[in-house]
Amino acid sequence: MVSSKTAPKTSKPKNPKTPPSILAVAFSIQQEADQWQHHCQAIAKKLGCHFDTQNVKLNKNSNIESQARELRYQALYDMCQQRHISDLLLAHHQDDQAETVLIQLMRGAGVAGLSAMPLVKTTKQNTIHIWRPFLNLRRQDLEAYAKEHRLTWIEDPSNQDESYRRNAIRKTILPTLEKHQAGATENLARSAKHLAQAQELLNQLADIDLGLIDTKDGLSKTNLIRLYKTSEPRASNALRRWLNKNQLAYPSEERLTAWWLELQ
């Protein structure tokens, strides 16, 4: 993809004495995986970068898109830890952000999900800082840069398959929205920024509420009742924050409603 090719060309290492690394993830279902790895390795050599790659197997009987996303990130984190890399640069751009917002909308996501991808993020283990420097740039801007500097890139043929949700959004839904509302892509990405700010405020409120109760040994029934007495939305917000901090899954909306009913 053009953004992945542009990223190493436009990036500078924090420490000039330490060459950056180019990391690649190859999926078992892609016939061209070996060819792409060789291509990436050649680019790394040309730019004087280290190169590392990890092969990932996907289960064809499960959700391919969801698997690929989760396993890709895990593979990148694993390679970062193996190489003691503390800063991971990803090439997501504004079009990717708009697509993510629409995907989250269709899933019925809340404020956190609709915040989409952050510009900067630290992993829960606080060991890797994730950067997305292209998040405010359109795909067309990156393509123009690449053509101007005579960069060549490989397009994944699976990106043309509209049976995948993100591809359908990219190729059909977003262009249609742009026809009806100029700047729709930028506006969706802007909404993600506003929602990210709203989520930050919700996190701050949750931290205040959690600070008023004793959570050293977890959230007891007594603590949950105290939270619930503030208001159900506020209690749900604090619970979500506590679960997230402790890397625990958030319950379904139905299950959460049942919990609060039990406490009444």
Domain boundary, last residue among 184, 203, 235: 184
pLDDT tens per residue across span 98-148:
999 999 999 999 999 999 999 999 986 768 999 999 999 999 999 999 999
Give the pLDDT confidence score for residue 199 in this predicted structure: 98
Nearest-angstrom CA–CA distance, 260 and 92: 39
**Same structural domain, 180 and 230:** no
What single DSSP character describes residue 103? H
Residue 226 lies in domain:
212-263
Cα 105–chain centre separation? 15
- 191 occurs within a structural domain: no
Domain boundary, last residue among 165, 184, 203: 184
Beta carbons within 8 Å of 32's beta carbon, 6+ residues apart: 154, 156, 157
- 259 occurs within a structural domain: yes
Supply the CATH number for residue 15's domain.
Answer: 3.40.50.620
How many other β-carbons are positioned within 10 Å of the β-carbon of residue 136?
A: 15
pLDDT tens per residue across span 50-68:
999 999 988 877 888 889 8
Q: How much is the average pLDDT of 12-27?
A: 80
155 pLDDT more than 70: yes
- Whether the CB-CB separation of 111 and 201 falls below 8 Å is answered with no
Number of domains in the chain: 2
Burial class (CB in 10 A: 0-12, 13-18, 19+), 161: exposed
- Whether the CB-CB separation of 79 and 51 falls below 8 Å is answered with no
**Same structural domain, 180 and 227:** no
7 pLDDT more than 90: no
Per-residue pLDDT band for 3 (boundaries 50, 70, 90) equals: low
Q: Does pTM surpass 0.75?
A: yes
- 84 occurs within a structural domain: yes
Give the pLDDT confidence score for residue 9 in this predicted structure: 54
pLDDT tens per residue across span 203-253:
999 999 999 998 887 888 888 899 999 999 999 999 999 999 888 988 888
**Same structural domain, 58 and 164:** yes
